[in-house]
Amino acid sequence: MHLDDRPFHVLESSQFDRPFLDYICLLTDTIRRFDKSKEGLMYLRGLLAHKRAMLYFTQPSTRTFLSFQSACHILGMPTSEIRDSSTSSERKGESIEDSLQTFSSYVDIIIMRTQVPGLCNQIANHLDNTDRPVPIINAGSGPDEHPTQALLDIYTLNRSFIRRGGIPGKTITLVGDLKRGRTVRSLSLLLANYEDIKIRFVSPKEYRIEDDLRLQLTKKGVQFEETSDFIGALDGTDAVYMTRVQDEYDANNESAAINIDNYSLKYEDLCHLKKEAVIMHPLPRRTELDTRIDKDPRAKYWRQERNGMWTRVALLTMILGVHRNIVLPDL
């Protein structure tokens, strides 16, 4: 994707290339400086005051919902929301396409999270063939993709490695339910844009990555390994990315039988990590990430969470075409 060719829909992470990633990281850094003064914040608030956004979140969400909502408000964009399809006309038998087409009559962009894989693409296709196509942002679609989380993860990694040559050449260890964890899928595909990256996938055998991801990474020439030796994988790792078991996708409570104790980062394990390593988690966490780690300088997940809001501000300015009003520093 070319920079002048800014995204319309944001559906999957593979639509982003390296120039886009470098640009959005710089744009996010620049936008954050506006947060330092009242004048800066007032300027941002004027940028999209003429637009309206809809948040259609029918799957539970705390961070993604609030960070998108806050991002819209930072840019002056009023928001409306649906958080439960039983309160919309879907309850009266309206098709999902008709419901979303209805929302598109009232707003300029729809940000959606759903339990159903592929639904965001389906709705984007549908709206493209109507009189009023509006951009769709995928804020999490079942177990398949979470492209905006991957953007904020890249931004966090980029900042963390700023004085160490950036993301290229780093070893990133992704741990947990890699089969159904959409953040891991989207992030690994973005990491493929960086030279000489090494990915370690760590999980019990039941939660290994899906074949299609394995195939895509192989095609892109990414060096990766799959292992169940968590402690061994920490050796030489630059960033460890923990994730929780996605048991909401269980058919018959099958997760209960899988022991994940060996895939949890405990305070005592920190000695296996480099001094300058980075610990990340998309949150929410359960037992896989010890709360005693929060105070360790390597823990970046609370910062990662806050970075989400600013990365989403940057993305919204791009999609709605006001990013050029933010002047980037000459490098």
Q: Restricting to residues 91-130, which ones interact with ligand NCD according to CB under 6 A?
A: none
CB atoms near residue 97 (< 10 Å): 14
- Residue 24's alpha-carbon distances to 20, 30, 45, 227, 329, in angstroms, are 6, 10, 19, 33, 13
311 binds ligand NCD (CB under 6 A): no
Give the whole-angstrom CA distance, residue 202 versus residue 183: 14
Q: Which tokens go with 283?
A: 């949150």
Give the whole-angstrom CA distance, residue 232 versus residue 284: 25
> Could you give the string, one character per residue 142-161, with x where binding to ligand NCD holds by CB under 6 A and - elsewhere?
----x--x------------
Q: Restricting to residues 270-289, which ones interact with ligand NCD according to CB under 6 A?
A: 282-284
9 binds ligand NCD (CB under 6 A): no
Shortest CB 149 distance to ligand NCD, Å: 5
- Of 87, 83, 86, nearest to 60 by C-alpha is 83
Shortest CB 46 distance to ligand NCD, Å: 29
Report the residue number, 34 or 201, with the smaller CB distance to ligand NCD. 201
Tell me whether residue 227 is one of the annotated catalytic residues: no
Give the whole-angstrom CA distance, residue 137 versus residue 315: 10
Q: Which of 9, 51, 146, 182 is catalytic?
A: 146
Give the whole-angstrom CA distance, residue 110 versus residue 86: 18
- Of 113, 121, 114, nearest to 139 by C-alpha is 113
Tell me whether residue 63 is one of the annotated catalytic residues: yes
182 binds ligand NCD (CB under 6 A): yes
Q: Restricting to residues 226-245, which ones interact with ligand NCD according to CB under 6 A?
A: 243-244
183 binds ligand NCD (CB under 6 A): yes
Q: Which of 113, 182, 185, 244 is catalytic?
A: 113
Q: Which of 36, 38, 92, 205 is catalytic?
A: 92
Q: Check residue 289 and report its DSSP letter.
A: B
Tell me whether residue 92 is one of the annotated catalytic residues: yes
Shortest CB 285 distance to ligand NCD, Å: 8
Q: What burial class does residue 182 get, using C-beta atoms within 10 Å of its C-beta: 0-12 exposed, 13-18 middle, 19+ buried?
A: buried
Report the residue number, 118 or 284, with the smaller CB distance to ligand NCD. 284
Tell me whether residue 113 is one of the annotated catalytic residues: yes
Q: Restricting to residues 35-94, which ones interact with ligand NCD according to CB under 6 A?
A: 63-64
Beta strands in 142-291 (DSSP E): 171-175, 198-202, 223-227, 239-242, 278-280
- Interface residues with ligand NCD (CB under 6 A) are 63-64, 140, 146, 149, 182-183, 243-244, 282-284
Residues taking part in catalysis: 63-64, 92, 113, 146
